[in-house]
Structure 1
Amino acid sequence: MTIPSAAGAHRDEPHRVGLSQRLNWLRAGVLGANDGIVSTAAVVVGVAGATSEVMPVLLAGSAALVGGAISMALGEYVSVSSQRDTERALIEKERRELADDPEAELAELVGLYEARGLSHDTATRVATELTANDALSAHLSIELNIDQDDVVSPWHAALASAIAFLVGALLPMATILLVPHPARIVWTFVAVLLALAITGYTAAWIGAASRWRAVVRTVTGGAIALGATFLVGSLFGTVVG
């Protein structure tokens, strides 16, 4: 029986190389796009429910777009920076332990492989060979599930989130400003829910998850947000009027 090499086996599976960076970009991009679509649409639909004038909608939508993009970028940067700092601290801790007591670390690695189901002899052989090749990577992989060459980047996450938010926010802004009253609210609902369906489907496709479950989740959440803000705007407009 021939065992396929790791490089050629199951190429459609994400395995480990670059996985953290890929998922980091995907997560930040999807969150940014969804937030841009939903939050901006909610603002402009809410304002449009209160008034038929274009300028208040434009001002509120622009403020939501700029403020939301900056907020998303800052949030992603802080969050991912904390994750990166934690990963780096764990890597340095493991490096010190290997330098201070390599024999104890080798014994620990053997025990970890035994806990995974390997016999003592096999676990010893595997741990010894991996230690000889790259002791730090071996310990980081089995102990902490960390790849020292694949630590997430906060700048990448922040940039992806901000750009995705801006792109997502442009759709409801353009729709509600270009379509004449009163059809603009209906068309904004349609455009936003369609965009959310595409976003959810694409994210699930990239992440090899259930496409339709993601679509239902994103569309349902967006519909609830738009409906709630339109109701608030309509009530406010009725009271003011």
Structure 2
Amino acid sequence: MTEQATYTAHPDEPHEVGTAARLNWLRAAVLGANDGTVSVAGLVIGVAGATNDNEALLVAGIAGLVAGALSMAAGEYVSVSTQSDGERALIAKEKRELAEMPKEELEELTQLYQAKGLDRDLAEQVAVRLTEHDALGAHAEAELGIDPEEFTNPWHAAWASMAAFTLGALLPALVILLPKPYNVPITFVSVVLMLAITGATSARLSGAHVGRAVARNVAGGSLAMAITYGIGMAVGTGV
């Protein structure tokens, strides 16, 4: 008797549906927090270079946080809405084609599986079986790379971006209110640490080199803070 081989998935290997989508959302959240940290840090440190007035620093921090969070949310909503509208239009077109020319669509699906490496007979069998089970789902996945049951939600993207930006922006907006003259160096150090964390997290999620990602992130954020602080000092001195 021949023993049937069994396959056991590696515990660290993601197989469930939606893993890639969840990773993309997580990457977007990390990048949103990073944007909030850098942009608001640059703003409040620039203002700190021009004035020591805590009220001005508080107003700048809140204004930068609110404006940035709303801008991120609006931008994500518009962008993802456009993507979602395109997905729905493609699915509607696929439905019409399946209803009006089913034979041509079956042949198209067969050729798609041939292009993936299956021989003609096997590709045709797979296409027939999948069409019998869920014709629209089969075409949407193989031809369009879309799940017709799960369109991208623009509201989810908007709220996630707003929340991530706000969380990242809170750090510099609050730390800059510490007593002078320690507020600027402490803000600088805390932001650099935050950028190192978000850079490392983003690199691990993307499978990139952690050291290079952290160095780029920290260097870019540090340069932004240094430039805005210098501009603030120049403006404050001039005024």
Fold agreement, TM-score > 0.5: yes
Residues 10, 129 of structure 1: alpha-carbon distance in 2 compared, 3 angstrom cutoff: farther
2:110 matched to which residue of 1? Answer: 110
Matched, 1:188 2:191: no
Report matched runs for 1:19-168 at 5 Å. Answer: 19=19, 21-168=21-168
Matched, 1:199 2:198: yes
- Output the CA distance in 1 between the equivalents of 2:98 and 2:73: 37
- Structure 1 stretches of 4+ with a deviation exceeding 6 A read none
The CA RMSD over aligned residues, in Å, is 1.9
Residues 23, 143 of structure 1: alpha-carbon distance in 2 compared, 3 angstrom cutoff: same
Q: Partner amino acid for 1:129? A: R
Aligned-partner SS, 2:177: helix
Matched, 1:2 2:5: yes
Tell me if the contact between 2:27 and 2:205 (Cα under 8 Å) persists in the aligned partners: no
Q: Cα distance, 1:189 vs. partner?
A: 0.9
Residues 79, 170 of structure 1: alpha-carbon distance in 2 compared, 3 angstrom cutoff: same
Tell me if the contact between 2:31 and 2:202 (Cα under 8 Å) persists in the aligned partners: no
Tell me if the contact between 1:73 and 1:161 (Cα under 8 Å) persists in the aligned partners: yes
Count of matched residue pairs: 236
* Structure 1 alignment gaps of length 5 or more: none
- Output the CA distance in 2 between the equivalents of 1:59 and 1:120: 68
Residues 206, 150 of structure 1: alpha-carbon distance in 2 compared, 3 angstrom cutoff: farther
Tell me if the contact between 2:87 and 2:146 (Cα under 8 Å) persists in the aligned partners: yes
Q: Cα distance, 1:133 vs. partner?
A: 1.4
Percent identity, aligned pairs only? 56
Q: Cα distance, 1:88 vs. partner?
A: 1.1
Q: Cα distance, 1:13 vs. partner?
A: 3.9
Q: Cα distance, 1:69 vs. partner?
A: 0.9
Q: Cα distance, 1:213 vs. partner?
A: 3.3
- Output the CA distance in 2 between the equivalents of 1:34 and 1:167: 9
Q: Cα distance, 1:205 vs. partner?
A: 3.0
Q: Cα distance, 1:202 vs. partner?
A: 2.2
Q: Cα distance, 1:11 vs. partner?
A: 5.0
2:18 matched to which residue of 1? Answer: 18
Q: TM (normalized to structure 1)?
A: 0.90
Q: Cα distance, 1:134 vs. partner?
A: 1.2
Deviations 1:160-186 (A, max 9, x none): 1111111111101111102x2222111
- Output the CA distance in 1 between the equivalents of 2:68 and 2:155: 17
* Structure 2 alignment gaps of length 5 or more: none
Q: TM (normalized to structure 2)?
A: 0.90
Tell me if the contact between 1:24 and 1:152 (Cα under 8 Å) persists in the aligned partners: no
Residues 202, 27 of structure 1: alpha-carbon distance in 2 compared, 3 angstrom cutoff: closer
- Output the CA distance in 1 between the equivalents of 2:76 and 2:27: 10
Residues 209, 130 of structure 1: alpha-carbon distance in 2 compared, 3 angstrom cutoff: farther
